[in-house]
Amino acid sequence: MKVMISEDDFRVANLHEQFLNTIDDVDVVAKAANAEETLALVEEQQPDLLLLDVYMPDELGSHLLPRIREKAPQTDVIMITAAKDKETVEHSLNYGVVDYIIKPITIERFQKTIEDYKKRTDILNKTEEFSQETLDFLLNQNEESKEEEVPKGIDPLTLKKVERFLMSEKEGVTAEQVSEKMGASKTTARRYLEYLVSTDTAAAEMKYGRVGRPERKYYPY
């Protein structure tokens, strides 16, 4: 996934780049410090994702959105900015930004944004025919209902912690590893992991250890 950063504060841009470099399958292809550079590099690099600031020295980043759409129609945009006025937010949403993060941002929020974007992209790339549930996820319309609809025995906050841990372990986790992380029983950990499998958030397969004992391992989907 090719990512470009448009941010006039080089310290913030470097922090974003450092974080992105820790994520598998993400390549930071360019950094722009102003609007003019942003348009030129977007056209040249054709990134999959652009992290765009609003307040730049020569022009508001939000004003670039229609031209970005013309130069790179396949590029998705995530706004990362201190701008939170109604006009800027509405303008950005009307041009289809996939997320809008208000500075100062936390590493947790940034991580969730990139993980959700990767998951969304993966679903779009692999799916030929969409269910309503999948479309609701892609359109971010079921975030609240997901918490309400989890089955008895599944706590939404604990579920998010388990999912976050799973997403950070690209080589997979076992129920025992998750139980240690949760401070709960292996049975409880397995219940949460199996629920994530049932919602297509995780995949599972049997692995055989050195002594031949099978072990179920879970991977981020």
Q: Are residues 66 and 18 in the same domain?
A: yes
pLDDT at 38: 97
The fraction of the chain above a pLDDT of 90, given in percent, is: 49
Alpha-carbon distance of 7 to 61, in angstroms, equals 9
Number of domains in the chain: 2
Which whole number is the average pLDDT over 154-162?
A: 85
pLDDT at 144: 47
* Structural domain that includes position 203: 142-220
Are the C-beta atoms of 80 and 101 separated by less than 8 Å?
yes
Tell whether 41 is covered by a domain: yes
Tell whether 204 is covered by a domain: yes
Q: Are residues 7 and 92 in the same domain?
A: yes
Tell whether 132 is covered by a domain: no
Sign of CA dihedral 34, 40, 44, 46: positive
Q: Are residues 89 and 18 in the same domain?
A: yes
Tell whether 171 is covered by a domain: yes
Q: Which residue has the higher pLDDT, 145 or 139?
A: 139
Nearest to 12 by CA among 31, 35, 37, 39: 31
Span 105-134, pLDDT tens digits: 888 888 888 888 888 888 888 888 888 877
Q: Are residues 117 and 164 in the same domain?
A: no
Asked if the model's pLDDT at residue 102 lies above 50, the reply is yes
pLDDT classification of 46: cutoffs 50, 70, 90: very high
Are the C-beta atoms of 165 and 181 separated by less than 8 Å?
yes
CATH of the domain at 39: 3.40.50.2300
pLDDT classification of 138: cutoffs 50, 70, 90: confident
Q: Are residues 109 and 154 in the same domain?
A: no
Asked if the model's pLDDT at residue 4 lies above 90, the reply is yes
The fraction of the chain above a pLDDT of 70, given in percent, is: 92
Q: Where a domain ends, among 123, 152, 183?
A: 123
218 pairs with which residues across the strands?
173, 204
Asked if the model's pLDDT at residue 55 lies above 60, the reply is yes
Q: Are residues 158 and 73 in the same domain?
A: no
Asked if the model's pLDDT at residue 148 lies above 60, the reply is no
pLDDT at 209: 59
CATH of the domain at 154: 1.10.10.10
Tokens representing 112? Answer: 């969730």
pLDDT classification of 210: cutoffs 50, 70, 90: low
Q: What is the reported pTM?
A: 0.63
pLDDT at 81: 92
Which whole number is the average pLDDT over 139-152?
A: 57
pLDDT classification of 211: cutoffs 50, 70, 90: low
Tokens representing 55? Answer: 């307040």
pLDDT at 47: 97
